[in-house]
Amino acid sequence: MAVTINTLRDYKQKGEAFAVLTAYDATFAHAVSEAGVDVILIGDSLGMVLQGHDSTLPVTMEQMAYHVRSVAAGNKGALVMADMPFMSYGTTESALTNAAELMRAGAHMVKLEGTDWMADTITALSERGIPVCAHLGLTPQFVNKFGGYKVQGREEHAAEQMIEHACMLERAGADVILLECVPAPLAARITQAVKAPVIGIGAGSDTDGQVLVLHDMLGVTPGRKPRFVKNFLAENGSIQGALEAYVNAVRQREFPGQEHTFEA
Protein backbone atom coordinates (compact mmCIF):
# COMPACT_ATOMS: atom_id res chain seq x y z
CA MET A 1 0.00 0.00 0.00
CA ALA A 2 1.34 3.43 -0.92
CA VAL A 3 2.55 5.72 1.86
CA THR A 4 0.61 9.00 2.11
CA ILE A 5 0.52 11.99 4.46
CA ASN A 6 -2.16 10.16 6.44
CA THR A 7 0.21 7.22 6.87
CA LEU A 8 2.78 9.52 8.46
CA ARG A 9 0.14 11.07 10.70
CA ASP A 10 -0.93 7.61 11.83
CA TYR A 11 2.68 6.75 12.65
CA LYS A 12 2.92 9.84 14.86
CA GLN A 13 -0.35 9.09 16.64
CA LYS A 14 0.78 5.52 17.33
CA GLY A 15 4.29 6.56 18.37
CA GLU A 16 5.83 4.51 15.56
CA ALA A 17 9.03 5.85 13.97
CA PHE A 18 9.30 5.98 10.18
CA ALA A 19 12.28 6.00 7.84
CA VAL A 20 13.19 8.61 5.23
CA LEU A 21 16.12 8.38 2.83
CA THR A 22 17.34 10.34 -0.17
CA ALA A 23 17.45 8.87 -3.67
CA TYR A 24 18.12 10.53 -6.99
CA ASP A 25 17.52 7.87 -9.66
CA ALA A 26 15.14 5.07 -10.60
CA THR A 27 17.42 2.19 -9.58
CA PHE A 28 18.02 3.42 -6.05
CA ALA A 29 14.41 4.57 -5.70
CA HIS A 30 13.35 0.99 -6.40
CA ALA A 31 15.88 -0.43 -3.92
CA VAL A 32 15.05 2.09 -1.21
CA SER A 33 11.29 1.64 -1.48
CA GLU A 34 11.63 -2.16 -1.63
CA ALA A 35 13.62 -1.99 1.62
CA GLY A 36 10.62 -0.40 3.34
CA VAL A 37 11.66 3.26 3.41
CA ASP A 38 8.48 5.27 3.93
CA VAL A 39 9.55 8.56 2.33
CA ILE A 40 12.05 9.14 -0.48
CA LEU A 41 13.55 12.62 -0.44
CA ILE A 42 14.98 13.94 -3.69
CA GLY A 43 17.27 16.35 -1.89
CA ASP A 44 19.14 19.28 -3.34
CA SER A 45 21.96 17.43 -1.59
CA LEU A 46 22.43 16.03 -5.08
CA GLY A 47 24.44 19.18 -5.74
CA MET A 48 27.06 17.85 -3.36
CA VAL A 49 26.89 14.04 -3.62
CA LEU A 50 26.21 13.80 -7.36
CA GLN A 51 27.57 17.03 -8.82
CA GLY A 52 30.55 17.59 -6.52
CA HIS A 53 29.72 21.13 -5.40
CA ASP A 54 30.57 22.35 -1.91
CA SER A 55 26.96 23.42 -1.23
CA THR A 56 23.42 22.85 -2.49
CA LEU A 57 23.10 26.33 -4.01
CA PRO A 58 24.03 25.53 -7.65
CA VAL A 59 21.16 23.05 -8.09
CA THR A 60 18.53 24.25 -10.59
CA MET A 61 14.81 23.58 -11.01
CA GLU A 62 15.48 21.76 -14.27
CA GLN A 63 17.86 19.39 -12.49
CA MET A 64 15.47 18.80 -9.60
CA ALA A 65 12.58 18.02 -11.93
CA TYR A 66 14.77 15.56 -13.87
CA HIS A 67 15.71 13.66 -10.71
CA VAL A 68 12.13 13.69 -9.41
CA ARG A 69 10.97 12.06 -12.66
CA SER A 70 13.72 9.48 -12.35
CA VAL A 71 12.83 8.61 -8.76
CA ALA A 72 9.10 8.49 -9.49
CA ALA A 73 9.77 5.97 -12.27
CA GLY A 74 11.51 3.55 -9.90
CA ASN A 75 9.51 4.12 -6.71
CA LYS A 76 7.39 1.28 -5.34
CA GLY A 77 5.00 2.88 -2.86
CA ALA A 78 7.05 5.38 -0.86
CA LEU A 79 5.90 8.98 -0.49
CA VAL A 80 8.06 11.15 -2.77
CA MET A 81 9.26 14.46 -1.29
CA ALA A 82 11.19 16.94 -3.43
CA ASP A 83 13.40 19.82 -2.33
CA MET A 84 12.70 23.19 -3.87
CA PRO A 85 16.14 24.51 -4.82
CA PHE A 86 17.75 27.77 -3.80
CA MET A 87 15.63 30.86 -4.64
CA SER A 88 12.95 28.81 -6.41
CA TYR A 89 10.46 30.00 -3.76
CA GLY A 90 11.72 33.54 -3.14
CA THR A 91 8.23 34.83 -3.90
CA THR A 92 4.86 33.16 -3.51
CA GLU A 93 4.31 33.32 -7.26
CA SER A 94 7.60 31.59 -8.05
CA ALA A 95 6.94 29.01 -5.33
CA LEU A 96 3.58 28.10 -6.88
CA THR A 97 5.04 27.80 -10.38
CA ASN A 98 8.06 25.77 -9.34
CA ALA A 99 6.22 23.52 -6.87
CA ALA A 100 3.69 22.70 -9.59
CA GLU A 101 6.55 21.61 -11.86
CA LEU A 102 7.91 19.24 -9.22
CA MET A 103 4.46 17.82 -8.53
CA ARG A 104 3.90 17.21 -12.24
CA ALA A 105 7.27 15.45 -12.33
CA GLY A 106 6.04 12.97 -9.71
CA ALA A 107 6.52 14.51 -6.26
CA HIS A 108 3.85 14.04 -3.59
CA MET A 109 5.21 16.83 -1.39
CA VAL A 110 7.71 19.70 -1.63
CA LYS A 111 10.20 20.84 1.00
CA LEU A 112 11.13 24.47 1.70
CA GLU A 113 13.87 25.85 3.96
CA GLY A 114 13.22 28.89 6.13
CA THR A 115 11.35 30.29 9.10
CA ASP A 116 8.33 32.53 9.71
CA TRP A 117 8.72 34.39 6.40
CA MET A 118 7.54 31.21 4.62
CA ALA A 119 4.08 31.24 6.24
CA ASP A 120 2.19 33.00 3.45
CA THR A 121 3.88 30.87 0.78
CA ILE A 122 3.07 27.65 2.63
CA THR A 123 -0.56 28.73 2.96
CA ALA A 124 -0.76 29.48 -0.76
CA LEU A 125 0.76 26.10 -1.65
CA SER A 126 -1.47 24.21 0.77
CA GLU A 127 -4.63 25.95 -0.44
CA ARG A 128 -3.80 24.82 -3.96
CA GLY A 129 -3.33 21.17 -3.04
CA ILE A 130 0.45 21.03 -2.69
CA PRO A 131 1.62 19.31 0.51
CA VAL A 132 4.57 21.03 2.21
CA CYS A 133 7.42 20.01 4.48
CA ALA A 134 8.93 22.97 6.36
CA HIS A 135 12.68 22.58 6.99
CA LEU A 136 13.97 24.30 10.16
CA GLY A 137 17.25 24.34 12.08
CA LEU A 138 20.36 24.07 9.95
CA THR A 139 19.03 24.99 6.52
CA PRO A 140 21.84 24.31 4.01
CA GLN A 141 20.62 26.91 1.51
CA PHE A 142 21.43 29.52 4.18
CA VAL A 143 25.02 28.32 4.66
CA ASN A 144 26.49 31.67 3.63
CA LYS A 145 24.21 33.52 6.03
CA PHE A 146 25.04 31.12 8.88
CA GLY A 147 28.76 31.27 8.13
CA GLY A 148 29.03 27.50 7.84
CA TYR A 149 27.21 24.32 8.80
CA LYS A 150 26.49 24.83 12.50
CA VAL A 151 24.10 23.38 15.07
CA GLN A 152 21.09 25.68 15.50
CA GLY A 153 18.93 26.40 18.56
CA ARG A 154 21.44 25.93 21.35
CA GLU A 155 20.62 29.25 23.03
CA GLU A 156 17.29 29.38 24.87
CA HIS A 157 16.06 32.36 22.88
CA ALA A 158 16.84 30.60 19.60
CA ALA A 159 15.19 27.42 20.86
CA GLU A 160 11.99 29.21 21.85
CA GLN A 161 11.95 30.99 18.49
CA MET A 162 12.30 27.69 16.61
CA ILE A 163 9.37 26.21 18.54
CA GLU A 164 7.33 29.30 17.71
CA HIS A 165 8.24 29.07 14.04
CA ALA A 166 7.37 25.36 13.86
CA CYS A 167 3.93 26.02 15.34
CA MET A 168 3.41 29.01 13.05
CA LEU A 169 4.31 27.07 9.91
CA GLU A 170 2.06 24.19 10.94
CA ARG A 171 -0.81 26.66 11.33
CA ALA A 172 0.07 28.05 7.89
CA GLY A 173 -0.47 24.61 6.40
CA ALA A 174 2.81 22.69 6.69
CA ASP A 175 2.06 18.97 6.71
CA VAL A 176 5.51 17.86 7.93
CA ILE A 177 8.35 19.56 9.82
CA LEU A 178 11.99 18.60 9.23
CA LEU A 179 14.61 19.51 11.85
CA GLU A 180 18.30 19.43 10.94
CA CYS A 181 21.19 19.71 13.40
CA VAL A 182 19.31 20.87 16.47
CA PRO A 183 19.85 19.71 20.06
CA ALA A 184 17.90 16.56 20.89
CA PRO A 185 15.95 18.14 23.78
CA LEU A 186 14.75 20.95 21.49
CA ALA A 187 13.73 18.49 18.77
CA ALA A 188 11.72 16.55 21.35
CA ARG A 189 9.95 19.75 22.46
CA ILE A 190 9.04 20.65 18.88
CA THR A 191 7.83 17.12 18.14
CA GLN A 192 5.48 17.37 21.12
CA ALA A 193 4.38 20.92 20.28
CA VAL A 194 3.06 20.18 16.78
CA LYS A 195 0.56 17.67 15.44
CA ALA A 196 2.45 17.37 12.15
CA PRO A 197 4.94 14.51 11.83
CA VAL A 198 8.49 15.68 12.57
CA ILE A 199 11.50 14.26 10.71
CA GLY A 200 14.96 14.63 12.22
CA ILE A 201 18.51 14.55 10.93
CA GLY A 202 21.02 15.21 13.66
CA ALA A 203 18.06 15.93 15.94
CA GLY A 204 18.02 12.97 18.31
CA SER A 205 15.78 9.93 18.55
CA ASP A 206 12.56 11.55 19.78
CA THR A 207 11.36 12.86 16.42
CA ASP A 208 8.68 10.93 14.55
CA GLY A 209 10.94 10.01 11.62
CA GLN A 210 14.61 10.00 10.65
CA VAL A 211 16.31 10.95 7.38
CA LEU A 212 19.83 10.44 6.04
CA VAL A 213 21.51 11.08 2.72
CA LEU A 214 21.82 7.78 0.86
CA HIS A 215 25.53 8.19 0.08
CA ASP A 216 26.26 9.00 3.73
CA MET A 217 24.53 5.92 5.15
CA LEU A 218 26.34 3.75 2.59
CA GLY A 219 29.67 5.26 3.61
CA VAL A 220 30.66 6.37 0.11
CA THR A 221 30.66 10.15 0.62
CA PRO A 222 34.26 11.40 0.58
CA GLY A 223 35.68 13.62 3.28
CA ARG A 224 34.71 14.16 6.89
CA LYS A 225 31.40 12.64 7.94
CA PRO A 226 28.86 14.62 9.99
CA ARG A 227 28.33 13.43 13.54
CA PHE A 228 24.77 12.31 12.81
CA VAL A 229 25.81 9.85 10.07
CA LYS A 230 26.12 6.08 10.50
CA ASN A 231 27.62 3.81 7.83
CA PHE A 232 25.11 0.96 7.57
CA LEU A 233 26.95 -0.78 4.73
CA ALA A 234 29.97 -1.46 6.96
CA GLU A 235 27.91 -3.83 9.12
CA ASN A 236 25.94 -5.51 6.34
CA GLY A 237 26.93 -7.58 3.33
CA SER A 238 25.09 -5.71 0.63
CA ILE A 239 23.49 -2.39 -0.26
CA GLN A 240 20.03 -3.90 0.10
CA GLY A 241 21.01 -5.29 3.48
CA ALA A 242 22.25 -1.87 4.55
CA LEU A 243 18.99 -0.22 3.45
CA GLU A 244 16.91 -2.76 5.37
CA ALA A 245 19.14 -2.40 8.44
CA TYR A 246 18.64 1.38 8.36
CA VAL A 247 14.86 1.00 8.18
CA ASN A 248 14.83 -1.48 11.05
CA ALA A 249 17.15 0.64 13.20
CA VAL A 250 14.93 3.69 12.74
CA ARG A 251 11.73 1.80 13.47
CA GLN A 252 13.23 0.22 16.58
CA ARG A 253 14.59 3.66 17.60
CA GLU A 254 18.07 2.17 17.75
CA PHE A 255 19.23 4.91 15.35
CA PRO A 256 20.20 7.59 15.99
CA GLY A 257 22.21 6.70 19.06
CA GLN A 258 23.72 9.06 21.59
CA GLU A 259 26.88 9.28 19.49
CA HIS A 260 24.89 10.73 16.59
CA THR A 261 23.13 13.36 18.71
CA PHE A 262 23.76 17.00 19.63
CA GLU A 263 22.95 18.12 23.14
CA ALA A 264 21.93 21.62 24.22
Contact predicate 137/149, CB 8 Å: no
Quote the number of domains for the chain: 1
Q: CA angle, corner 39, sides to 38 and 41, nearest 5? A: 155
Domain that holds residue 209: 5-260
Confidence band of 150 (pLDDT split at 50, 70, 90): confident
pLDDT for res 147 = 74
User: In the predicted model, what is the mean pLDDT of residues 152-164?
Assistant: 95
Neighbours of 179 (CB within 10 A): 29
User: For this structure, is 180 an active site residue?
Assistant: yes
CA pseudo-torsion sign 241, 199, 186, 55? positive
Mean pLDDT of the chain: 96
Q: CA angle, corner 258, sides to 254 and 264, nearest 5? A: 135
Q: Does 83 carry a binding-site annotation?
A: yes
pLDDT for res 143 = 80
Confidence band of 231 (pLDDT split at 50, 70, 90): very high
- The reported pTM is 0.97
Which residue is catalytic, options 180, 244, 254, 259? 180
Q: Report the CATH number that the domain containing residue 135 is assigned in CATH.
A: 3.20.20.60
Q: Which residues contact 156 (CB under 8 A, 6 or more apart)?
A: none
pLDDT digits (tens, 9 = 90+) for 121-146: 999 999 999 999 999 999 999 988 77
